[in-house]
Amino acid sequence: MQSILAYVQTFLPPVSWFIQLLLALLLIAVLGLLLGKPVMRYVINRVVDDATAKLLSDEYDENVAELLPSLKRFSVINIIELSLRAETGKVITRPLGTPKHYPEFDNLLFSPQQMTRFTLPVSTNIDMSVTLGRKAKKPLKLKIPLIIGSMAYGLALSEEAKVALAIASKRLGTALGSGEGPFLPEEADAAGKFILQICRWSWGLRTNEQIATADMLEIAMGQGADVGTAPIMAADIEGRARELGGLAPDETAISLPAPPGVHTPADWPVFMKKLRQRADGKPIALKLMATDRLEEELAVAVSLGVDVICLDGAGGGSHAVAPIKQDNFSIPILYALVRAKRYLAGTQISLIAGGGLYTPGHCLKALALGADAVVLGTVPLFALVHNQATKAIPWEPPTALVYYNSQTKDKFDLCQGATSVTNAFTSMVLEMEEAMRALGKSSLNQLSPDDLVALDSLTADLTGVKKVTDTCTPRAPSSPGRTAPHSQPNRFAERQQYTALLNQMRQSIQQAKKTTARLESMRERLRSYLE
């Protein structure tokens, strides 16, 4: 630096040392600009050349390329999770669900009519409202078919995140699920329509005051990414959530196989009767992980008289669940949705679909296949932090802003989060309305599987939707603007009719068995009386 200053002084009259320093720094900057690019290119070239030479000449056991064959069958995620297991020796928990991609709705496409049925004008209002629990005295009515999913306070999300979601639900005219965490009064107060979970934790029965704030109760037995019991260590649930959950200072929270009071399957009828009394006419839903035992589970639900079934398929997210459950349990929601719709045909039980649904197209296809509403969890979670991510990255994931135990949750802007979720859902609904106009439908009630076409045989056979390679000869419509029916039979409608008949037969058989049992009991009492 002194030599540079001396060099500068030879060309300049005497000036202060500060100006000399500035001029020297300016000269260094100019030289850096002139020489920096060539020098940098030279350094990068040497490094790349050296790395390439080693990569192509070193033996495999000394070569980083040794990993490449393994990565073809052993993904980066597998390597990271193996390292986490090796580090702690404990069960690891993965957020946000499985990385596996299931063949679900992508092989279904909408098939609009153009000559026999025109699209609707832009000015046409689309009725996107839904009613859940129609047979209940106080059914749940929503302005849109998209529900903000149940994400637990304390076990997953912070108070600010839950309140932001509640505010968004009120602006949207939809419902928000409480999740399995302790009851948060501010969330219930801020929500539009509130779904309170009756869950498998010590606080899971809820108080009568808490139930009074809800618009629907939901018995949570499983979800797409998780089922079964799990502990939450005392260090992982501290502060207000611990107090609201009624936990002692050092008490570990442990989930139960079923809600408190249900010890065996035989306890369900009594449990349901008491809960029905406490609900005071509000719908009661049952949330299940979608599995291949679906019809068996639905039979129990029908016998218990639930008003709503919420199915969560493989691909659903969760805050912290062992990868073995996320990757190897549950079935995709497309399969579960179609099977459940067939089984519940002829009943007034509403059906909510969730798990692996991320786009307006996914949601509208699920509604066309028979879902009464769609529940979204990962979508609102990412929307919460969409323009606040820079507060956490690059050292933490964006979702760290909304997790209960995160050190960066104080940086989360509640109002901005609520606005972002509102905007995301509004945008999705507007896209769905645009698709409805293109289909010539002004109400969700007009959607059906006939509006879809399947690209492969498996999807066609599963859903009853026409396969794209199956030709048909349409008849001319009987009047302008009406749909020209396919000459092929509607397999989905036929299966619906058959399933309805089977359900009626099943119910008749069950009723007959009950009548026979009562007659047998009366005969025994009469015999004992005569003797």
* Residue owning tokens 């939809």: 174
- Among 2-11, 158-167, 205-214, the least confident range: 2-11
For range 192-200, the mean pLDDT: 94
Residue 204's pLDDT is 92
Residue 493's pLDDT is 53
- Among 77-86, 90-99, 390-399, 488-497, the least confident range: 488-497
Q: Which residue has the higher pLDDT, 323 or 132?
A: 132
For range 178-198, the mean pLDDT: 94
Has residue 478 got a pLDDT over 50?
A: no
Residue 477's pLDDT is 47
Has residue 298 got a pLDDT over 70?
A: yes
Is 305 within 8 Å of 283 (Cβ atoms)?
no
Has residue 3 got a pLDDT over 70?
A: no
Q: Which residue, 256, 263, 261, is CA-closest to 271?
A: 261
Has residue 482 got a pLDDT over 50?
A: no
Residue 387's pLDDT is 87
For range 29-50, the mean pLDDT: 72
- For the chain, the domains span 18-66, 108-463
Q: Which spans in 245-293 are helix H? A: 268-279
Q: Which residue has the higher pLDDT, 5 or 276?
A: 276
Band of the pLDDT at 499, cuts 50, 70, 90?
low
Band of the pLDDT at 17, cuts 50, 70, 90?
low
Residues in the chain: 531
Hey, how many other C-beta atoms are within 10 angstroms of the C-beta on 411? 13
The percentage of residues in the chain with a pLDDT greater than 70, rounded to a whole number, is 82
Quick: pLDDT tens for 35-44: 666 777 777 8
Q: Which residue has the higher pLDDT, 482 or 252?
A: 252
Q: List the structure tokens of 174.
A: 């939809």
For range 276-294, the mean pLDDT: 95
What phi and psi values does residue 40 have, to the nearest 5 degrees?
A: -65, -45
Q: Which residue has the higher pLDDT, 517 or 349?
A: 349
Q: List the structure tokens of 425.
A: 């859902």
Q: DSSP string spanning 393-446? A: TTTS-GGGGTBTT-TTGGG--HHHHHHHHHHHHHHHHHHHHHHHHHHT-SBGGG
DSSP 270: H
CA distances (Å), origin 363, targets 46, 221, 249, 454? 53, 23, 43, 16
Has residue 407 got a pLDDT over 50?
A: yes
Residue 484's pLDDT is 37
Residue 518's pLDDT is 67
Has residue 13 got a pLDDT over 70?
A: no
Has residue 224 got a pLDDT over 80?
A: no
Q: How far is CA 297 from the centre of its chain?
A: 21
Residue 458's pLDDT is 87
- Among 209-218, 219-228, 230-239, 508-517, the least confident range: 508-517
Q: List the structure tokens of 247.
A: 């936990």
The one-letter amino acid code at 343 reads: Y
The percentage of residues in the chain with a pLDDT greater than 90, rounded to a whole number, is 48
Residue 90's pLDDT is 86
Say whether the peptide bond before residue 182 is cis (omega within 30 degrees of 0): no
Has residue 213 got a pLDDT over 90?
A: yes
Q: DSSP string spanning 70-110? A: HHHHS-HHHHHHHHHHHHH-S---BSS--------GGGEEE
For range 92-112, the mean pLDDT: 84
Give rounded-to-5 percent helix, strand, coil for the chain: 50, 10, 40
The one-letter amino acid code at 392 reads: A
Residue 498's pLDDT is 59
95 Cβ contact list (under 8 Å, min separation 6):
317, 318, 319, 320, 399
Residue 35's pLDDT is 63
CA–CA distance, 439 with 125 (Å, rounded to integer): 14
For range 465-485, the mean pLDDT: 57
Average pLDDT for the chain: 84
Q: Dihedral, CA atoms, 494, 496, 502, 504, nearest 10 degrees?
A: -120
Q: List the structure tokens of 12.
A: 């300049």
Q: Domain 108-463: give its CATH superfamily.
A: Aldolase class I (3.20.20.70)
The pairing of beta strand 452-454 with beta strand 108-110:
antiparallel
Is 315 within 8 Å of 347 (Cβ atoms)?
no
Q: Which residue, 413, 445, 502, 443, is CA-closest to 161?
A: 413
For range 191-202, the mean pLDDT: 94
Helix (H) or strand (E) holding 519: helix 491-530
Has residue 66 got a pLDDT over 80?
A: no
291 Cβ contact list (under 8 Å, min separation 6):
297, 329, 330, 331, 336
Has residue 472 got a pLDDT over 70?
A: no
